[in-house]
Amino acid sequence: MSIKNHERQILVEPKEQVSVPKPPRIFELINSQEPLQKKLEQITSQIYTDFYTAASMSDREKVALGLLGLLEFGNDGLAALQYGIAQDTGALGETARKLVSFLPEKPNADEFAKRTALEKSLDIQRYGDIIFDEWEMEDDELAHLYKINPILQKKFSNKKAFQAAYIQQRGLKPGIRKEERLEQERLLMQGVPPGEATYRFMKKRKEEELISDIRSFGNYEASYIELLGPLDVLRLRSEKEPKFLLVGADWGAGEFVQFIDKINPNGKKYIIDKTKMYTSFFKHIQSQDKSLITIMDGLNLGFKKEQFDCVFINYLLGVLIGDKNQTFKESLRLLFTQLFAVLKKGGSLCIVDEYEYAHKFSKDELVEILQGAGFSKTNDAGFPLFCLFQHDRLRGIIDENGFGQFKNIPLVCKDNDFTFRFSKP
């Protein structure tokens, strides 16, 4: 079902613009309208200032922004790095030389790879515990998580109580379980509207359960921040009213809104899904969020061309259903062609999804389909990072420099899944 008149007045607009953090000086220089050579000189000078007066990790982040910014100017920026900053005899020169030597070793490195190398060199530490198998954790690992997490200490009287609860839930199958469906049916029989019933049991689950096992948008907040990268987060933050679209909402509509508010609270949030069962659920949360939530098929978008700054897809591709005469890959091509059309030039498509749904497509095939639709690959942020605990959803911080901070949030590396960011040239 596609809605063409989606611009109806469902969108609740803020009465006035909400203030956003002032961008760092280095970002203003990168995006200034000065002639290129003067701009490169100003950026270089600011990098020296930020590095040699650095007193905190935030200051080191500004240095990383400057060095990444230089690389955006192609050969001119690389020359400023290689024949300017890298010639410095101090610690800054050493950092620049490491980056210069990294580039030919990894000629196809994307922004994420370059940023990761820079952060390591500058000792920028934004993450805490990264877990590779949440179902096989040892007692000492669980004890460590309890020790560093005040929320767990408040929820459980001691580490043994936490360990027992963790082990108990670890034996349950992920997904919506039988008892939860029965709870929803009970609420419906009591006359509770379907959207309200769904909202209640999902809210209860998030509040009461320990391990997070639903692939909703908020669980993958860290991955989406890394896909965008700090420079583009700051660019989106500096826009007056950027437009964001989530295709395929599932249970993550409200989480998507909260995530976008961290980037730019003045941004317009659009959320679509074709599944009718979500209609009343959407209407229930729409009264709380400044967003447009509507029933629309991603294969038949009713939006104007070049409307959105950024589009997000969260675990949608494997359940994509097109016309009965279309193959799955034809449906993928149609989806990405539609999304390419509604993105602004320079806009981004961020995807977190699962590899090879029942062998429907491979990573290389997906990249080929996206590039065939006109996209160019911008970032691959590695395996998705997933919140281990329900209470940690959306607890990440996007700081004043556009970097995500997740030091006290245990994250799980999902090595069967992938992250991609593609841009519209």
CATH number at residue 365: 3.40.50.150
Q: Evaluate whether residue 386 is within a structural domain.
A: yes
> Domain check: are 135 and 117 in the same one?
no
> Domain check: are 196 and 236 in the same one?
no
> Domain check: are 226 and 182 in the same one?
no
Q: Evaluate whether residue 167 is within a structural domain.
A: yes
Q: What integer pLDDT is reported at residue 35 of this predicted model?
A: 97
Q: Is a pLDDT exceeding 60 seen at residue 286?
A: no
Q: What residues make up the domain containing 167?
A: 130-208
Residue with the larger pLDDT of the pair 259 and 207: 259
Q: Is a pLDDT exceeding 50 seen at residue 15?
A: no
Burial of 16 (0-12, 13-18, 19+ CB in 10 A): exposed
Q: What integer pLDDT is reported at residue 3 of this predicted model?
A: 34
Residue with tokens 């002639």: 35
Q: Evaluate whether residue 359 is within a structural domain.
A: yes
The answer for residues whose C-beta is within 8 angstroms of residue 317's C-beta and 6 or more apart is 332, 351, 353, 354, 357, 361, 366
Tokens of 374: 């006109």
> Domain check: are 116 and 136 in the same one?
no
Tokens of 389: 């605990």
Query: In the listed set 151, 178, 208, which residue is the last one of a domain according to the structure?
Result: 208
Q: Evaluate whether residue 1 is within a structural domain.
A: no
Query: In the listed set 164, 179, 208, which residue is the last one of a domain according to the structure?
Result: 208
Q: Evaluate whether residue 76 is within a structural domain.
A: yes
Question: What's this model's pTM, rounded to 2 decimal places?
Answer: 0.86
Give the chain's domain count: 3
> Domain check: are 39 and 177 in the same one?
no
Q: What is the DSSP string of 102-159?
A: HHHHSTT--HHHHHHHHHHHTT---B--EES-TTS--HHHHHHHHHH-HHHHHHSSSH
> Domain check: are 99 and 143 in the same one?
no
Among 51-55, 323-327, 366-370, the least confident range? 323-327
Q: Is a pLDDT exceeding 90 seen at residue 95?
A: yes
Q: Is a pLDDT exceeding 90 seen at residue 232?
A: yes
Q: For strands 417-423 and 130-131, give the pairing.
A: unpaired
- Tens of pLDDT along 366-400? 889 999 999 998 888 777 888 888 888 888 999 99
How far lies 278's CA from each of 180, 250, 275, 318, in Å? 17, 7, 6, 19
Query: In the listed set 158, 174, 208, which residue is the last one of a domain according to the structure?
Result: 208
Q: What integer pLDDT is reported at residue 6 of this predicted model?
A: 37
Q: Is a pLDDT exceeding 80 seen at residue 79?
A: yes
> Domain check: are 179 and 223 in the same one?
no
Q: Is a pLDDT exceeding 80 seen at residue 162?
A: yes
Q: Is a pLDDT exceeding 90 seen at residue 175?
A: no
> Domain check: are 349 and 222 in the same one?
yes
Tokens of 413: 């590396």
Q: Is a pLDDT exceeding 50 seen at residue 38?
A: yes
- Tens of pLDDT along 303-314? 999 999 999 998
Query: What confidence tier does 362 reach under pLDDT thresholds 50, 70, 90?
Result: confident
**Mean pLDDT value across the chain:** 83
